[in-house]
Amino acid sequence: MKIKSVVLLILVGLFLGGCKDDQLSILEEEKKQWGLKEETYLKDIEELKKTNDLLSEKLNVIQTTPQLSLEQLLYEDVMDIYEKYPWLQVNRNEMILNKVTIGRYINDPKAITVTDPLILKNVPFLLLVEHRYFGGFPSGYQSEVGEYTYTLHTETDEHQVQVIGRGLIAIGEDRLKVSNGIHKLAEAFVKSENDYGNHIFTKIQNSGLMVGQKQHTYALFSEFRIKGVASVLSEGVFLKHKPVGEVDELLETITFYYQGEEIIMHLYPDYIHLIEGDKQHWLEMEKGGQTILSFLSAG
């Protein structure tokens, strides 16, 4: 029995001694791993410090560099657009039009062709780019404007522009803010889906453009000016017959273009003569002719 006890004690001692050695090995391995992790952490901290220093340096450059104004940013944006579409550079006379076709959509078989040189000369100025448009599709007041496709023909090229809202066009994937009168060209020549009635004042008020022969010898697409003339006319008194005798000097002759119709207005000092097709109207208005001319000439 004593011999067995001694042997058992020896075995237990050996077992415990082996466990101690294993534990020491594990501890040493864990210490080694922690050492490696610590070294990695120190490297990460060093990299973060370098990154922080670099960002601080860049931030300092940004803070000390003069910032571009909104006007400068818009100007650079417009220059980028002109670089992409050089034919839009109206001020450099890049766009001399031979004709413009106006349709409801691309390749519209009912498209209208405009060839009047006086009108074509002013069309490019409707395309002066103000900036890119990043908003949603027009709604409300903007949506009153129909969508049209203009095909601009020069001697060597043709370019398509889609009117998508009041003062908004699309060329390819780019949407651009241009003159608010861009849709008026279509309203001058294309039959509208809106029923404005047949009263001559209503037709003048909703005309797309007006052109004078003496003082205002250019195509005017201004909705404000056109509606203003109609407002002045509404103050006149319709006469049943042409005035008796001379009506003094003819001050100006202006043609309004309304959905393919032409309405001619002769201005006299105290009378206004309107012609639409085979219909003629005379209005009496003291200093009416000069009042209209003054309104058109006002800044």
* Structure confidence by residue, pLDDT tens digits, 203-255: 999 999 999 998 888 889 999 999 999 999 999 999 988 887 777 789 999 99
Helix, strand, coil % over all residues of the chain, rounded to 5:
45, 20, 35
Q: Give the lowest-confidence range in 116-125, 136-145, 183-192, 213-222.
A: 136-145
The whole-chain average pLDDT of the chain stands at: 82
pLDDT tens digits for range 36-58: 666 766 777 877 787 777 777 76
pLDDT (0 to 100) of residue 45: 81
pLDDT at 258 over 90: yes
Angle (deg, nearest 10), helices 288-297 and 223-233:
160
Answering whether pTM is above 0.75, one says no
Domains of the chain by range and CATH? 70-189 (3.30.1490), 200-297 (3.30.1490.410)
CA distance 242 to 260: 27
pLDDT tens digits for range 132-145: 887 766 555 455 77
